Amino acid sequence: MSEIKILTSDTYADAIAGGAVVVDFYADWCGPCKMMAPTFEETAGEYEGKVAFAKINIDENRDVALSNQVMSIPTMILFKDGEAKDRVTGVIDKDTLKSRVDALL
């Protein structure tokens, strides 16, 4: 399985700066976030070496969530070289996530 980086307010900007990165905005108490986690982890493993996958807890890093206008969770934002290219809110299936990630490449 691919390593999923856990981001903080301090590491966020550097993590999204280069290449293709998928960031999952979540909270520990969020039921839909827990439902999405296995799909996110499986997909990350399939893109190892091509796309970075990361998670950021919105409760602990509220400034990053606000700056990205994350109003509902889970929200996944797909970045290419620091620029948000796509956004998905809510629980989605693996095929949908993969098609969005493929569009980044």
User: Which pLDDT tens digit goes with each residue over 62-95?
Assistant: 999 999 999 999 999 999 999 999 999 999 999 9
Dihedral pair phi/psi, residue 20, rounded to 5° = -95, 130
> Which residues are known to be catalytic?
30, 33
Residue 38 counted as domain residue = yes
In whole angstroms, what is the distance from residue 16 CA to residue 77 CA? Answer: 10
User: Which pLDDT tens digit goes with each residue over 14-24?
Assistant: 999 999 999 99
**Nearest Cα to Cα of residue 79 among 98, 60, 105, 97:** 105
The total of structural domains in the chain comes to: 1
Q: Outline where 47-82 has alpha helix (H).
A: 62-67
We report the CATH number of the domain holding residue 80 as 3.40.30.10
Enter the pTM of the model: 0.95
Residue 104 counted as domain residue = no
